[in-house]
Amino acid sequence: KDGLTKTRETIRDNISRLTQGRTEIDEEFLEELENILIAADVGVETTLSIVDRITERAKEETYRSEDELNNMLLQVMQEMLLDASEDHPVDFDASLPAKPYVILIVGVNGVGKTTSIAKLAHNYHKSGKKVMIAAADTFRAAAVEQLQIWADRAGVPMVSQGQGADPASVVFDAVSSAVAREADVVLVDTAGRLHNKAYLMEELAKIMRVAKKKVPEAPHEVLLVLDGTTGQNAVSQAREFTKCVNVTGLIITKLDGTAKGGIVLSISRDLHLPVKYIGVGEKIDDLQIFDRSKFVGALMG
């Protein structure tokens, strides 16, 4: 079970309905194929390039059976979706390029930021790394409490201060403590107040400035968490965040709850940002390292 069942079944079912009893491709067929891919949020650009390629091939080839036609479609889609690949999946077991390795997690409330931090903490911890969480979303008291519950579940320590504390001060504490305790990874939760962009930008800049006092190269990564069920809304959120902070990668959550898993492919292409992880459930184990070829394989069944 990979958590992508809904998207896979939708794409596969629609395509087999389309090819049923057919061995030829006409205008109507191409239009319907376009609709199927757009509906799965594969993205307009990618969809059009897939349709173009299929049009070309159909001019040169003949298909003796529905199966042959189906196979050609799946093959072209796999090729075209892989084409945009810029992702470099890195295993949790791999050694990290710095110690402590500081990862800033950004994203608006409700997208799955807390859960994603817990999942990352759990995975790093499981692979034998010493992890620390910094609760720098000090704006919401509930956020710190929630994060503490997850940190306990993952079995990793968390550094926090009272509600309303200066987020930069929490981060300074956490990074200092990580250096002293020789921790491998620091995961920093941040407030997602995108509605007040100037404030958010200032807060993130200050966090980074302070982290650098202890670890000059920090943060090593800035991961933006996006809710995969929100389609184009996630894309516009991402655009806003990239104006505030230098995002290095994406975590796309809740893919188990949507038939529009193609969003993963269109988002990375539209934003020129690698997808690093995907969330496929609410449990601590429901995080996958994003591997494009595996993902496309899973979508195409």
DSSP-derived letter for residue 100 is S
Residue 84 sits at the vertex; the CA angle it makes with 284 and 102, to the nearest 5 degrees, is: 40
191 is in an annotated binding site: yes
Q: Least Å distance between CB 145 and ligand GDP?
A: 11
114 is in an annotated binding site: yes
The residue nearest ligand GDP at its CB is 279
250 is in an annotated binding site: no
Q: What is the crossing angle of helices 292-300 and 66-83, to 10°?
A: 160
Beta strands in the chain (DSSP E): 101-106, 131-136, 158-159, 185-190, 221-227, 249-253, 275-279, 287-289
Q: Judged by CB, which is closer to ligand GDP: 106, or 175?
A: 106
Which amino acid would we find at residue 232?
Answer: Q
Q: Judged by CB, which is closer to ligand GDP: 46, or 288?
A: 288
Q: Least Å distance between CB 205 and ligand GDP?
A: 21
Nearest CA among 26, 192, 215 for reference residue 102: 215
Q: Least Å distance between CB 216 and ligand GDP?
A: 29
Q: Least Å distance between CB 202 and ligand GDP?
A: 21
DSSP 238-264: HHHHHHHS---EEEEE-GGG-S-TTHH
Q: Judged by CB, which is closer to ligand GDP: 214, or 254?
A: 254
228 is in an annotated binding site: no
94 is in an annotated binding site: no
Q: Is the Cβ–Cβ distance between 138 and 255 less than 8 Å? A: no
113 is in an annotated binding site: yes
Q: Judged by CB, which is closer to ligand GDP: 70, or 115?
A: 115
Q: Least Å distance between CB 115 and ligand GDP?
A: 3
In Å, the largest CA–CA distance within the chain is 70
Q: Which residues bind ligand GDP (CB under 6 A)?
A: 107, 109-115, 253-254, 256-257, 279-282, 286
Q: Judged by CB, which is closer to ligand GDP: 43, or 107?
A: 107
73 is in an annotated binding site: no
Residue 122 sits at the vertex; the CA angle it makes with 169 and 249, to the nearest 5 degrees, is: 70
112 is in an annotated binding site: yes
Task: Give the β-pairing of 275-279 and 158-159.
Answer: unpaired
Q: Least Å distance between CB 113 and ligand GDP?
A: 3
Q: Is the Cβ–Cβ distance between 244 and 201 less than 8 Å? A: yes
What is the C-alpha separation between 65 and 199, in angstroms, rounded?
60
Q: Judged by CB, which is closer to ligand GDP: 80, or 280?
A: 280
Q: Judged by CB, which is closer to ligand GDP: 111, or 215?
A: 111
Query: Which residues are part of a known binding site for GTP?
Result: 107-114, 189-193, 253-256
Query: Which residues are part of a known binding site?
Result: 107-114, 189-193, 253-256
